[in-house]
Structure formats: C-alpha cells, structure tokens
Amino acid sequence: MMTDMTVIPSIGAALPAAPFHARHLIGGVWMDSADGAVSERISPSHGVVVSRAAKGGAPEAEAAIAAARAAFDDGRWSGLPGKARAAVLLRVADLIEANVERMALLETLESGKPISQSRGEVGGAADLWRYAASLARGVTGESHNALGGDILAVTLKEPIGVVSIITPWNFPFWILSQKLPFALAAGCCCVVKPSELTPSTTVILGELLAKAGMPDGVVNIVLGYGQPVGAVLAADPRVDMVTFTGSTGVGRAIAAAASGTLKKVALELGGKNPQVIFPDADLESAADAVVFGVYFNVGQCCNSSSRIIVHADIAEAFTAKVVALSRKVGFGDPLDPETQVGAIVTPEHGAKIDGYVTAAKAAGAKVVLGGAALSVPGLGAQFYQPTVVTGVTPDMAIARDEVFGPVLTVLTFRTLEEALGLVNDADYGLSAGVWSENVHTCLAFARGAQAGTVWTNTWMDGFPEVTFGGVKQSGLGREIGRQGLEEFLETKSLVMRIGRTRAMWVKTA
C-alpha cells in the first residue's frame, strides 16, 4: 500500500551548525534559568537537537509577572496614544517579514511541518500584526445622550491589564500572532509561555520587539513546561487575564487554576470538525478540500476536518475519490519545498494516533487507506500514513475524539436533519463545513450547525478581519477580528451630571 503513496525522501539539506539558544526575556533582560536548567528539542523529522532552551520554574514566571505588572501600572505602554502603539506594531510586522527564512527553518525543524507551510505562516502573520495596529487607533466606547438634559454618560474601553499568553506547539508563531498583537493594541502588558517543544520563534519575536521599540517589560517570555510555569501564569493574582490555545483537557485545568482569582479566561481548544457533502456539490473541489482539511499540518490542527458526513447516494464514489487524491499528497522531508505533509510532533503522539485507528478496526471499522506509521527514506519513522476509515459509527472513539493526526473518518446521511444531528452530536463546536450548490441548503445548515465558524463550499479560509473561536468544549471567547481586540478591553461606565441638578437626599428642613 505504501508504494501507492507519494513519499518524499530526505533531500539532505544542510542543518544549522549548532542548536538555537533560547532564553527567558524578563523586564527587557535576556536570562537563563536561575538553577541552570535547560530542555532540548530534538527535531521530529531529522533527529537532531534544534534548540536548547532555558527551563523555567515558578521564580522565572513570578519575576515575569512582576515585570509586566510594573510596566502596566506605570503606563509606559497603556498610556501611549493608539497611534504610537500602532507604529511599534507596524515596525514589528516589517521585521517579521525580514526574518521569515530564519524563523521558518527553526519552526520546521522543531514542529516537523513543511518548510513551505512555515514560510507561509510566519510571513502571513505579519498581516495579523498590521491589522491589530489598525485597531489600536480605533478603540471606542459609546455615548448616551438621551438620559435627560442634565446627564451625559459614556462607556470607556480600557486595557484589561496583565495578560498571560500560553501557546501550543502546532502553530507556534501563527497562534501567538492571533493573540499578542491584539493584546498590545489594546494597551495590555503580557507574559508569554510558548510550548516547550517549539520555543524558538517566540524568542526571536522577543528580539524583534526590542528592535521595533517596544518598552522593556511590556512583553516578557518565560520558557518551560505547563507545570509549573503555566500554572503560575494562570493562578497569580497579579494577572488579569489568561488566554490559552491547546487541548480541551489542559484548557479545563487552566480555567480551574484561574478561578481562584476570577480572572478572565479565553480558551481556543479542540475540535471534531465535520464537512458535510451533498450530492449536488462540486465533488472535485469538495474532495480536494477534504484532503486538505485532514492532512494539513499532519492533521495536528484544531480546525482539522477529521470527519466527513457524506450523502449515502455518493458515499462510496466520493470516498474513492478522496482516497485517490490522498495517494498523491506529498508526505516526507519537511525541508523539501514540494513536501505538503511532514512529521508527527513526538513518538508518543504518533502512538496515540495509531491507537485510535487500531481501536476502530477492532470495533468493526474498515481502514481503506493507510493506518500505520510511514517510513521516509533518510529520515526514519516519525511520520504517519494518510489514513481513511470507513464503516464508522457515531459511538466510536475515532468518530468522537480529537485524534489530532492525518486520519479521516467517513459517516453517511440521507437528510439535512440527519446530517445536522451528526454534526451537533459532539462535545466540540469549533468549525463545520457544507458542500452544496443549493444556497438554501447551505444557509439552513449554517443556521443549524453548532460551530463557531461555518464554511460553505470551502474549508479553512481565514482573514484577520473575521473573528475565530468555538462553542461548547471548543472554547471561550474569540480571537482576531475586532472581537479579538475587545477580548483584551474592559468597559467602564462614566456618568456625568451637567450643572447643579442633583436632588438632595438628606432633608435638612
């Protein structure tokens, strides 16, 4: 079966001469951990040490929070006009574009994603910074001038304060850029903790922020693991908000840690995202979108369309079309620009993916493509084959859980109501898609689907202007768009009386 797949062997590309040295950034000072602890990241695709990072603990996390708190309280950033904050964010965007190659190489080697994808994500993130810069100049409240001739009230929008930003390994720079520039545009000061698996591009961003003129202490970076660093960032009373992207399980733990101080929590969590295909759809485009949706980033994507719900009349033929396209997708060396799908992030995660497939087969499902590790010549076996599973029933774990790998499950339906029932019978509600040439079908589906984003006749098109987030156990709050800025703002009501018109409460006569 493997001979029928498109496997791209190692191209023998030159690797960095030495690991990247990643350090904490606290109060404008780069530093190693006080105890000298470090962690090494071994490339999942090439097996070499890519980065050697300071491994922080509670002391580093607390020092970073103190630095952010001091920076916010003295107004060195929040007190600037929006125009001045926007100017810094625009300079950061320019510097990101000037450093794409350096950052993309490290992101590819740390995460295993293809170099062409890393270049697109790092370079594309500059647009998020530019859009956030535009919002920095337009923070507005409301006015209430119909309360009577002697009363004027306004609502003010003010930065929420100190924000802890905890980011995942699957899109290290992109997801950071969906959070940090919007928090900065609002006037907040931040402490950032990237995943211990992918710290390097976040550290490089710290360098670029300093070059762009960001005041010391406004953005602090602490490297390390969720325990204890992430836990401190969530629980510390000096932090006003925590925003996290990652698994639903970890999201629950962060919400619990933050509950002690009732701070605001924004969570972008997992998904079990369906694409529903009707017989009248453009089946060629739909099949291509299904293949893209399940294999992009090796399926290690919260928006992965890991299940398709296909009309029974076309299910067999459509699945065959998806399988044929899957065989043509280039899996292999992430440093080859032609590669479309790279490596699984860790061996443990690869074993978890395979466990879902094995359990599905034991429960009666049929693996019609893949279903095993993939060996890439010259690079080893930390890859997984493109996998399609049919005969799936809604109660199977592979149909309900977030597998987070290149594994597609196929279910069938006959009516729109049945399709929506399958879509909504999930703990998650991040995104959903529908394919039909009938606009009424698409609109009815969009109204009925329980999801934060619905795509019609496309998949995973996104724009800085269009907000993103989930419902149910896919998260709380929204990112990007104007709502992405609003997440980092508090509303204050100001009521003003004009003239001496207030009635006296105490009767003196």
pLDDT at position 509 is: 81
Q: What's the rounded Cα separation, in Å, for the pair 314 and 278?
A: 8
- Whether 121 is catalytic is no
pLDDT in tens, 292-331: 999 999 999 999 999 999 999 999 999 999 999 999 999 9
Those residues with Cβ within 8 angstroms of residue 169's Cβ, 6 or more apart along the chain or in another chain: 110, 111, 195, 197, 198, 345
The sheet carrying 407-413 orders its strands as 366-369, 387-390, 407-413, 307-311, 274-277, 431-435, 453-456
Cβ neighbors of 339 (< 8 A, separation 6 or more) are 8, 114, 115, 116, 330, 331, 332, 333
Q: Which two tokens stand for residue 386?
A: 């493109």
Which residue from 273, 290, 248 is spatially nearest to 399, judged by alpha carbons? 273
Successive 10-residue mean pLDDT values, the chain, 509 residues:
81 97 98 98 97 98 98 98 98 98 98 98 98 97 96 98 98 98 98 98 98 98 97 98 97 97 97 98 98 98 97 98 98 98 98 98 98 95 96 97 98 98 98 98 98 98 98 98 98 97 92
Q: How far is CA 110 from CA 19, 102, 197, 209, 327, in A?
A: 11, 13, 7, 22, 26
How many CB atoms sit inside 10 A of residue 489's CB? 20
Q: Which of 188, 190, 301, 302 is catalytic?
A: 302
> What CA–CA distance (Å, rounded) separates 481 from 466?
5
Catalytic residue among 268, 402, 486, 487: 268
C-beta neighbour count of 90 within 10 angstroms: 18
For tokens 């394919």, what's the residue?
Answer: 435
Query: Using an 8 Å Cβ cutoff, are 170 and 470 in contact?
Result: no
- Asked if residues 465 and 128 have their Cβ atoms less than 8 Å apart, the reply is no
Predicted local confidence at residue 1, as pLDDT: 42
Short-list 423, 461, 386, CA closest to 274 = 423
CB 54 within 8 A of CB 45: no
Which helix (H) or strand (E) segment holds residue 357: the answer is helix 347-362
In three-state secondary structure terms, 393 is coil
CB contact at 8 A, 223 and 53: yes
Q: Which two tokens stand for residue 60?
A: 């580093």
**Cα–Cα nearest to 468, from 449, 454, 456, 448:** 454
Residue 2: per-residue pLDDT: 47
Rounded Cα distance, 367 and 386, in Å: 11
Paired residues of 51 in beta bridges: 20, 41
- At 3 the pLDDT is 55
370 in helix, strand or coil?
Answer: coil
CA distance 251 to 174: 19
Q: Is residue 275 within 8 Å of 460, Cβ to Cβ? A: no
Q: Which two tokens stand for residue 347?
A: 């061996």
End-to-end CA distance of the chain: 98
pLDDT of the residue at 90: 98
Q: What pLDDT, on the 0 to 100 scale, is given for residue 381? A: 84
Does residue 390 sit in helix, strand or coil? strand
On whether the CB atoms of residues 386 and 329 are closer than 8 A, the answer is yes
Residue 302 annotated as catalytic: yes
Q: Which residues pair with 369 in a beta bridge?
A: 388
